[in-house]
Amino acid sequence: MKKNKIVVILIILIIIFLNPKTINIIKSKISNSKVSIEEIKEISYGYSNNTSFIEYRDGFLMYDGKSLKYIDSEAQRVFDLNIRIENYSIDTNNSNIYLLDKMKKEVYIIDKKGALTKKLKLKENALMVKALYNNDFLIHYTTDVDVEGAKLYSYKGEEIQDISIPQITINLLQVDKDTSNFVISGISIKDDRLYNNIFYYNKKGELIFSYNIENKVFAKTLFLDDKLILVDPKYIEIKDLSDEKVKKINLDEEIQYIDIIDEEIVVIDSNKKIIYIDKFGKEKNKEYDMKNIKGIKSIGDQKILYSDRSIYLPENKEKKDFTKDILDVFTIYDNSVIVIFRGYIKFLNIN
């Protein structure tokens, strides 16, 4: 009788431990217990208010108005190109790099190897450059007769389209990474009323739709699948790009941080409350064991949070503290984290 009971128990145990769900739970527990944040390298640099950092390919770009550097996730300098620009705008499509000299009205196009492939002279007063993901690019310009607009250029420097918009002040220009379509947001005043005008174009510079909304000044625009996300300090509008459907979300507090992470809109408000919003406007609040969260990034199949002087992996409850304030965080692949400080940069691995 005892032998039969033992055999039955053994069979039950074998069934349990051969169950894929059980195996995944055990793997997850083992994985969580072993995860650590390891510092692999630190490099120093001369910090100035004119320094820009942009996530790029396997690492990031750093430009200070003197030299453009591409540094990979292992802290190796891939290229270093000397271009001196006092007042600049920079953007990339993860392949070409576009560098605008606002004073000299010139655009430099640099490829992924750090070679200067094109230098273009502009006629208009250029304010900003934006890269399209088909290698074309946009120049936001202004004129002496109160007309603003955007010119679309090919990667060879050939003008494709001139989008001139009178009687507005352009406050945003954003490109969809998936389609290379783009949106121009501009402010106008009519009959003492303020309007935020939205113009949505395809990658050829052809207008798809336009509309305006009263008493809103959008501070940011984002794309999520087939949705356009318009962000006001206490208001989010989710507009379907294929029809007139609009979802309007009013928030109690001002938005401090907003981004698209794992197909969701992630908001941190001024009270440090974290709100996840799907593309249909459904909201859910999330709490983490970390105070004063400043931003959230995705790394592999989990999230990494950062405050002024800490980074934190909530799934593994692993935290790393620093002695100076964090300027920005980049995540590369499934295990590389780059943390930017004033004067130095730390390269970390998630093991």
Q: What is the pLDDT of residues 7-54, one digit of tens each?
A: 556 656 565 556 554 554 544 444 445 678 999 999 999 999 999 999
**HEC-encoded secondary structure of 99-123:** EEECCCCEEEEECCCCCEEEEEECC
Alpha-carbon gap, residue 306 to 291, rounded angstroms: 9
- The reported pLDDT for the residue numbered 186 is 97
Task: State pLDDT tens for residues 245-254.
Answer: 899 999 999 9
Mean residue pLDDT across the chain? 91
Q: What is the mean pLDDT of residues 288-316?
A: 94
Q: Kindly state the average pLDDT of the residues 272-289.
A: 94
Asked whether the beta carbons of 328 and 337 are under 8 A apart, the reply is no
CA atoms of 179 and 206, how far apart (whole Å):
13
Q: Residue 32's pLDDT is what?
A: 47
Is the pLDDT at 101 greater than 70, yes or no?
Answer: yes
The CB-based long-range contact list for 271-275 (8 Å cut-off, 24+ gap) reads 275/251
**Would you call 202 helix, strand, or coil by DSSP?**
coil
For 50-59, what is each residue's pLDDT tens digit?
Answer: 999 999 999 9
Helices (H), 35-84: none
Buried b (16+ CB within 10 A) or exposed e, 80-110: ebebebeebbbbbbeebbbbbbbeebbbbbb
Exposure of 287 in the CB half-sphere (CA atoms within 13 A): 1
Question: Structure pTM?
Answer: 0.87
Residue 76 CA to residue 230 CA, distance in Å, equals: 38
Q: Which string of b and e fits 141-179 if b means at least 16 CB within 10 Å?
A: beeeeeebbbbbbebeeeeebebebeebebebbbbbeee
Burial of 227 (0-12, 13-18, 19+ CB in 10 A): buried
Q: What is the CATH number of domain 85-218?
A: 2.130.10.10
pLDDT at position 46 is 94
258-282: b (≥16 Cβ within 10 Å) or e: bebeeebbbbbbeebbbbbbebeee
Q: Which of 51, 141, 131 is nearest to 105 (CA)?
A: 141
C-alpha span between 149 and 141 (Å, rounded): 6
Amino acid 35 reads V
Secondary structure (3-state) at 22: helix
pLDDT digits (tens, 9 = 90+) for 51-88: 999 999 999 999 999 999 999 999 999 999 999 999 99
Q: Which two tokens stand for residue 253?
A: 């507090």
Sign of CA dihedral 283, 308, 322, 259: positive
Residue 209: pLDDT over 60: yes
pLDDT of residue 146: 80
- Percentage of the chain lying above the pLDDT 70 cut: 90
Write down the domain spans for the chain.
Answer: 85-218
Give mean pLDDT, residues 169-177: 96
Split at pLDDT 50, 70, 90, the class of 244 is confident
